[in-house]
């Protein structure tokens, strides 16, 4: 026999003489409560019931009358029924406690699993960060090396060309001078380009910020539509803007970034709408938000592509329409930067509706 251990379930009452059992420890071990015997009400109640049964039976020792027997029998039945009712309540309570203990154990396991998952994510992020740092370091090194290797000979080429032009190697005729001037000028341009590349490489990483200012999205939508109208006319697609005069469509946002959002959405709609179709831009106030909807009668998006439409470099229909697959991803990021969200509804062959929902206050 194995020695007693309570490590598997630490809340074992080893002193429970009632021997209430559960699945993990079927032999006389209460794996639920942690009371000692003298604290156990069930034990005290059962012991009292035991004494009561003996007392109820006592009259039968000395009296043989039917009335006594009837009284004893009735008392016994009452005691037993009452005892069973109490016993069931106690068991339900203990069973509930056991389930609670099990739930606690499960919760602890879930928390442990989640913690482990977060730890793994942190490790992956740290690794990615280190890799990015290494990539940045390599990029900088490469740019410096390349620029050095290019600039040094180019400077020599430029110097040599200038020497030729200065007549150090003899007088040049007009045609020769013209060619040498081309060599010198292009060398200068190349050196300038390399210097620019170096400056760019030495600049700190760009940060994306918002230049917040009051913006009327209705006015902005009309402006964007006006700028894209030539493309719509060229493609034979009707472009219209609907802004209710009663709605206040002003918000506090970065006008340039929202212009980019609208240009992407409307440009996309025009790109995927065939000749004879239409694109409608609607701006409306909905509670504390302003919704910019771009609805088209274009080719629509298949259901399988709908969930990936905002993924970077994902292109649902790339065969006949040019694009990088970045426009919608950038659009979503720009809208999220404002604290908003972009949604899409689409039916293949019927058209799509993209909505940018923006808060009316600053993000």
Partner 1 sequence: MLSALDKRLQYGPGMRVQRMAEALFLIGAFFTGDIHLAYVTLALTILQALSPRFVPFALVVSLFVPEPKEHRLSDLYFDFAGTRGACAISIFVQGGGIWLVSNGHEILGYAILSVPTASFVLAPTVGFCCGCAVYVGMRDLLARAGVVKRYANGACDIETTAHRQ
Positions touching partner 1 (CB under 8 A) are 1-6, 14-15, 17-23, 25-28, 32, 36, 43, 45-47, 49-51, 53-54, 57-58, 60-62, 64, 69, 72-73, 76, 80, 83-84, 86-87, 91, 94-95, 98
Taking the complex as a whole, the smallest distance from the CB of residue 55 to partner 1 amounts, in Å, to: 9
Q: Which is nearer to partner 1, 58 or 144 (CB)?
A: 58
Least Cβ distance, residue 101 to partner 1 (angstroms): 13
Contacts for 239 with CB less than 8 Å, ≥ 6 apart: 225, 228, 229, 232, 266, 270, 278, 279, 281
Cα–Cα dist 138/141, whole Å: 5
**Min CB(16)–partner 1 separation in Å:** 9
Measured between alpha carbons, how far is 221 from 259 in angstroms, rounded to an integer? Answer: 8
Distance between CA atoms of residues 255 and 48, nearest Å? 83
Min dist CB 103 to partner 1, Å, is: 17
Q: How far is the CB of 349 from partner 1 (least distance, A)?
A: 54
Q: How far is the CB of 102 from partner 1 (least distance, A)?
A: 13
**Nearest CB to partner 1, comparing residues 34 and 353:** 34
Let me know: does 253 contact 264? Beta carbons within 8 Å: no
Task: CB nearer to partner 1: give 49 or 162.
Answer: 49
The nearer residue to partner 1, 98 or 184, going by C-beta atoms, is 98
Shortest distance in whole angstroms from residue 326 CB to partner 1:
58
Q: What is the rounded CA–CA span in Å between residue 291 and residue 217?
A: 9
Query: Please, are residues 158 and 187 in contact by the beta-carbon 8 Å criterion?
Result: yes
Nearer to partner 1, 66 or 313 (CB): 66
Q: Which is nearer to partner 1, 33 or 270 (CB)?
A: 33
* Beta carbon nearer to partner 1, 75 or 155: 75
Distance in Å, CB of 126 to partner 1, minimum = 43
* Integer CA distances (angstroms), 137 to 103, 108, 131, 142, 201, in order: 50, 43, 10, 9, 10
Measured from the CB atom, the residue of 4 and 168 that comes closer to partner 1 is 4
């Amino acid at each position: 026999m194995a020695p007693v251990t309570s490590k598997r379930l630490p809340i074992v009452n080893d002193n429970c003489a009632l021997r209430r059992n559960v699945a993990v420890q079927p032999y006389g071990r209460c794996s639920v409560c942690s009371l000692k015997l003298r604290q156990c009400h069930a034990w005290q109640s059962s012991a009292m019931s035991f004494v009561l049964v003996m007392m109820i039976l006592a009259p039968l020792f000395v009296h043989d009358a039917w009335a006594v027997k009837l009284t004893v029998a009735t008392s016994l039945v009452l005691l037993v029924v009452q005892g069973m009712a109490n016993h069931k309540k106690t068991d339900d309570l203990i069973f509930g406690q056991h389930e609670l203990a099990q739930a606690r154990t499960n919760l602890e396991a879930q928390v442990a699993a989640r913690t482990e998952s977060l730890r793994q994510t942190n490790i992956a992020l740290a690794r990615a960060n280190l890799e990015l740092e290494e990539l940045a370091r390599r990029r900088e090194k490469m740019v410096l090396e390349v620029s050095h290797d290019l600039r040094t000979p180019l400077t020599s080429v430029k110097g040599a060309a200038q020497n030729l032009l200065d007549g150090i190697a003899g007088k040049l005729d007009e045609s020769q001078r013209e060619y040498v001037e081309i060599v010198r000028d292009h060398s200068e341009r190349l050196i300038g380009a390399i210097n620019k590349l170096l400056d760019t490489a030495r600049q700190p990483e760009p940060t994306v910020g918002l230049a917040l200012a009051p913006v009327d999205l209705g006015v902005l939508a009309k402006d964007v539509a006006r700028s894209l109208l030539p493309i719509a006319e060229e493609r034979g697609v009707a472009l219209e803007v609907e802004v209710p005069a009663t709605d206040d469509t002003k918000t506090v946002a970065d006008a340039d970034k929202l212009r980019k959002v609208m240009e992407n959405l409307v440009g996309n709609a025009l790109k995927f709408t065939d000749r004879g179709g239409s694109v409608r831009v609607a701006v409306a106030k909905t509670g504390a938000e302003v919704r910019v909807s771009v609805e088209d009668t274009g080719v629509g998006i298949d259901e399988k592509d709908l969930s990936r439409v905002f993924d970077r470099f994902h292109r649902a229909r790339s065969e006949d329409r040019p694009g990088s697959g970045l426009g919608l991803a950038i659009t979503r990021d720009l809208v999220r930067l404002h604290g908003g969200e972009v949604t899409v509804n689409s039916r293949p062959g019927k058209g799509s509706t993209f909505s940018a929902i923006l808060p009316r206050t600053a993000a």
